[in-house]
Structure 1
Amino acid sequence: MIADRIAQIRRSIPSEVKLVAVSKYTTPTAIRAAYAAGVRDFGESRVQDAKAKQEELADLGDITWHMIGSLQSNKAKAAIAQFDWIHSLDRLSLAVQCDRLIAELGKSPQLLLQVKLAEDPSKSGWSEPELLTDLPELAKLQNLNIVGLMTILPLGLNEVQAYELFCKVGKLAEKMRSLGWTNIQELSMGMSADYAIAVKAGASLIRVGNQIFAS
């Protein structure tokens, strides 16, 4: 069943779009089934929960682990040590902390800046003006491997509104590249309910959980 669902998703997206299977609510057994179906990228939201799964699945040496949940400052060191990607770098103070920790640990995950381009009190992230204001300070943090942007849309949007917001993230990435941030290439956008719209708007990574693992 998991393999069938993964095959269906892959048929619906371009081959260059990376499928991150959101495994935060599922079991190592289900992760192994997705791995057997060809998935190598898995998304977790809690550092401690992920650690237990990572230890149990340590024999799968080519798994790539993505931290997709909100990153608390007291978990930043563990997240940097455990994850290959962190999608949720959402404020300057956390970026400063991660820069120091990366130098200390000697491990540099790929980082995405979480942006919030529509009002949503339940989500964290930079607004466009805030991010543009903080770019000079972010540029001073030489240990950060920032490769793109991530967003989570507010609930209740229609398809047109969702598409416009996803496109807005892509335009912000273009603006950053024009300012010299040429490494901003990745767009982590879209989940089970809206990944097709996100791909249409230029997503390079999609985060899909329910459509793969829901019973």
Structure 2
Amino acid sequence: MTIAENLDKILSEIPSSVRLVAVTKKKPVTAIKEAYHYGIRDFAESRVQEAILKQEELQDHKDICWHFIGHIQTNKAKKILENFHWIHSVDSLKLAEHLDKLAAKTSIYPHVCLQVKLLPDPNKYGWEVMEFWQDLPKLEPLKHLKIEGLMTILPLGLSENECLETFEKTKELATKINEKSSLQLKELSMGMSNDYLLAVEKGATMIRLGSIIFGARN
């Protein structure tokens, strides 16, 4: 199937209110252009250098909204701030504070999702719930970040019910944060190629899809 046919199928399955973020890591610029011509404007990368090379090639596509979804090393934070509109993978207080200081200096105020881990997973970054509540009072004063939502990536090998339950708990966590803090989290970045329909069922506002649009990565 072509990229356009894949997108036809996906968009027929989800509400128009859900933002489809096309994950293009290890995919050529031609694939991005194909999705762009279809009408997609949100694209995500997880490696800074690869993303910047693509962005340079796509300079005339000025209405693309770039999302960063990879783990962030402190020394790459400034480049990410300068080249991405959204950062989904703010996964620690230390990183959030560092980005806030950089944002204050550069006057670039990124849209941010805080990455949370609802289930233990040694292969994933993010706040565990108890740790998050401890750090929340220090996140609230970060005025140079537009903290807009939560992001989560599920551990591999969960059953459908476990996926649904974890997405539900992520949504509940966002609701509790909104009730108990000055943060107002409207976005839930959750759901990937293998579980996006379950995520949408439980309130995802952004889904991050790669292989189901572009085919398996090499």
Tell me which interval the TM-score lies in, with the shorter structure as reference length: over 0.9
Post-superposition shift, 1:72?
A: 1.0
Give the CA RMSD over aligned residues.
0.8
Q: After TM superposition, list the pairs within 5 Å mapping 1:79-118 onto structure 2.
A: 79-118=80-119
**What is the match of residue 26 of structure 1?**
27
Identity %: 51
Q: 2:76 corresponds to which letter in structure 1?
A: K
Q: In 2, distance between residues paired with 1:138 and 1:196? A: 31
8 Å CA contact retained: 2:140, 2:183:
no
Post-superposition shift, 1:132?
A: 0.9
**What is the match of residue 39 of structure 2?**
38
CA deviation map 1:168-209 (0-9, x unaligned): 000000000101345200000000000000000100000000
**What is the match of residue 60 of structure 1?**
61
Alignment: residue pair count: 215
Structure 2 unaligned regions, length at least 5: none
- Structure 2 residue 194 is matched with structure 1 residue 202: no
- Structure 2 residue 129 is matched with structure 1 residue 128: yes
8 Å CA contact retained: 2:86, 2:111:
yes
Find the residue that maps to 2:61 and give its secondary structure: coil
Q: In 1, distance between residues paired with 2:112 and 2:125? A: 16
* TM superposition outliers: structure 1 runs of 4+ over 2 Å: 180-183
**What is the match of residue 154 of structure 2?**
153
Find the residue that maps to 2:117 and give its secondary structure: coil
Q: In 1, distance between residues paired with 2:37 and 2:61? A: 10
Find the residue that maps to 1:54 and give its secondary structure: helix
8 Å CA contact retained: 2:193, 2:210:
yes
**What is the match of residue 78 of structure 1?**
79
**What is the match of residue 175 of structure 1?**
176
**What is the match of residue 7 of structure 1?**
8
Q: 1:56 corresponds to which letter in structure 2?
A: E
Q: 1:76 corresponds to which letter in structure 2?
A: A
Q: In 2, distance between residues paired with 1:96 and 1:182? A: 15
Find the residue that maps to 1:119 and give its secondary structure: coil
**What is the match of residue 166 of structure 1?**
167
Q: In 2, distance between residues paired with 1:50 and 1:5? A: 23
Post-superposition shift, 1:7?
A: 1.0
- Structure 2 residue 192 is matched with structure 1 residue 191: yes
Q: 1:93 corresponds to which letter in structure 2?
A: K
Q: In 1, distance between residues paired with 2:39 and 2:54? A: 18
Q: 1:209 corresponds to which letter in structure 2?
A: G
8 Å CA contact retained: 2:88, 2:151:
yes
Post-superposition shift, 1:95?
A: 0.7
Q: In 2, distance between residues paired with 1:174 and 1:102? A: 27
Find the residue that maps to 2:56 and give its secondary structure: helix
